[in-house]
Structure 1
Amino acid sequence: MENQKSNSNLKAIIAILAVLLVGSLVYIFKVTSDAKAVETELVTTKSDKASVMKDLEELKATYDAAIAENTSMSDELIAEREKVVNLMADLKKSKGDASSMAKYKSQFFALQSKMKTLVAENETLKKDNANLTVQRDSTVMVLGEAKKYNEVLVGQNEELSKTVEKASKLTISNLQTAAYKLRSSGKQISTEKARKADILKISFTISENAVAKPGERSYYVQVIDAKNNVLGEKKTETFGDQTLTYSFVSNVNYEGKPVQVSQDLPGKDFEKGTYFVNVFDKGELVSKSSFSLR
């Protein structure tokens, strides 16, 4: 009886130990499986984090290249690149768990989609700019050729104007001066003696010029005596940076034909010696001569 009781107790203990062993084995299997699952999840999320980070770096590099082209979309491209940079900073700080990685992937895909749209627009803009540059260069070349042609025409016109102006100048010929003594009757007697002279008669001829325009012409006559004094009115006229002191002005109505001009210069106590007579068309000397009184 006692042996039977001992055997029963032993069997009971063995049964309990068997149950405990089975439970331990089940628990160990579950713990091991959970650890492997956690390890697998950690490895997976770590790999996902690195993959998303790499994708974001490539996205940023794409924006950097587009911004470097310096198109009119640069501001918009820079703004989107900042979003990528900020997301990279957030990803770097994150633990990389499954839920957060899903969020980062979703944000990445949204940024990638926006990038594709902007890059496509930027490429279109670059092509348009290239076409505009070609058109501008072509226009500049045409305008440059036109400018050169105009410069040639202006030069030719200037030369032609100078030629016409030169051709239209009236020439003075046959400039003569003689001294006369006036009789009480009004008769003029030619003399070469200074003490007898009462007037100097200056005459010259304006030659015919078919190119010259008809109209009023003024000639300034300057008579200088032997002591370098200007005789007559001694008025002064300025032409540009030149100043002219003259004896009298001869106003002539020129009509395209030769004109004989003659004018008296009255005086007294004429000096002995050589006199100089100059005729000016404004500030330009057009004729000169000299004579002597004894």
Structure 2
Amino acid sequence: MIVNPQFFNYRLIIGSLVIAIVILSSFSYSSYSELTENQVFIEQEKGLVENELSEMISSYDGVKIENKSIRRHPEITKSKISSILDSVKRLKPSASLISKYKSQIRWLKKENARVLAMVNTLEVENKTLKQETVRFESEISKKEVLSRGLKIENRTLSKRNTDLKLDLYQAKNLILTNVEATGVKRITSKRIVATKLARKVNKFHVCFTILNNKFTDPGEKELYIQVLDSKMNVIADKGTVHFGKKSLIYSEKKTVFYSNEELTVCSIIEKRPK
């Protein structure tokens, strides 16, 4: 059998091309399968990243913080996580982006744990401060009630003390009784000659009794005697004495020693002072 070399070469070339096509087809199929699997993996990783970010955002939803200054920290962190989640949803995922977001998630988890720990600590401190405030306000309230009670009691005691001082002051006053004033015509060595005729009266004989008083300090007492005529004019005006805002025109001034016992005092008052 005679083989044509040229025909043989054609067959060899065709065979080689077929083998090359088969190899390329096999390689292309393998690359496509690998690419498809890689894309599926990236999509899955993207989903996991989104879930982790969503869970981190949800962890802040259950945190209730009354203090405005404390509330600001978790709100900032939550805003950062929400921004990253929006970026993940919008951008077409790739291996490099997934790696970048995973790195950010690790950092955010640490930041999340730090912020939540800080919030818990501050909340505990805030509750403690609130309890202290309630206790302090309760103590203040009790003290205010006590203070009001003491003020009322003090006013009562002050009034009572004032009343007692007034009573004591009044109790110290000398009380006079048996006051008698007699017109005198003349006085002899043996007796005082009285008269009822006004024209014959030259002097007045005044007597009175000072009752015993244990509240009055013993010692010399100045007594001021005032004698009035029928027209309420002072007889034998010898001057004026002042007692605070009050004053008295007196007819006679007499000093006696009082020893807290009953004492009778008499005095002769000239009708016309010399």
Settle same-fold status: TM greater than 0.5.
Answer: yes
Would you say the 8 A contact 2:220–2:257 is kept in 1?
yes
Give SS of 2:185's match: strand
CA distance change for structure 1 residues 127 and 185 in 2, over 3 Å: closer, same or farther? Answer: closer
Would you say the 8 A contact 2:179–2:208 is kept in 1?
yes
| Aligned pairs, number | 254
Would you say the 8 A contact 2:53–2:81 is kept in 1?
yes
The reply on whether 1:88 has 2:78 as its aligned counterpart is: yes
Alignment equivalent of 1:27, drawn from 23, 27, 31: 31
Give SS of 1:175's match: strand
CA distance change for structure 1 residues 251 and 26 in 2, over 3 Å: closer, same or farther? Answer: farther
CA distance change for structure 1 residues 212 and 235 in 2, over 3 Å: closer, same or farther? Answer: closer
More displaced stretch, 39-48 vs 230-239: 230-239
Give SS of 2:209's match: strand
Alignment TM-score, normalising by the size of structure 1: 0.66
Give SS of 1:257's match: coil
Would you say the 8 A contact 2:176–2:210 is kept in 1?
yes
CA distance change for structure 1 residues 21 and 189 in 2, over 3 Å: closer, same or farther? Answer: same
Q: How far apart, in 1, do the equivalents of 2:269 and 2:118 lie?
A: 100
Flag structure 2 segments of 5+ consecutive residues without an equivalent: 89-100
CA distance change for structure 1 residues 217 and 236 in 2, over 3 Å: closer, same or farther? Answer: closer
Q: Deviations over 1:11-65 (max 9, x none)?
A: 3333232222222212222222232222222222222222222224444x2xx24
Name the residue aligned to 1:43: 47
Would you say the 8 A contact 1:170–1:207 is kept in 2?
yes
More displaced stretch, 34-43 vs 98-107: 34-43
Q: How far apart, in 1, do the equivalents of 2:218 and 2:269 lie?
A: 27
Q: Deviations over 1:97-117 (max 9, x none)?
A: 111121111111122333344
Would you say the 8 A contact 1:197–1:268 is kept in 2?
no
Give SS of 2:227's match: strand
Name the residue aligned to 2:94: none
Flag structure 1 segments of 5+ consecutive residues without an equivalent: 69-77, 270-294
CA distance change for structure 1 residues 229 and 87 in 2, over 3 Å: closer, same or farther? Answer: same
Greater per-residue helix proportion: 2
State the identity as a percent: 19
Greater per-residue strand proportion: 1
Q: How far apart, in 2, do the equivalents of 1:207 and 1:156 lie?
A: 27
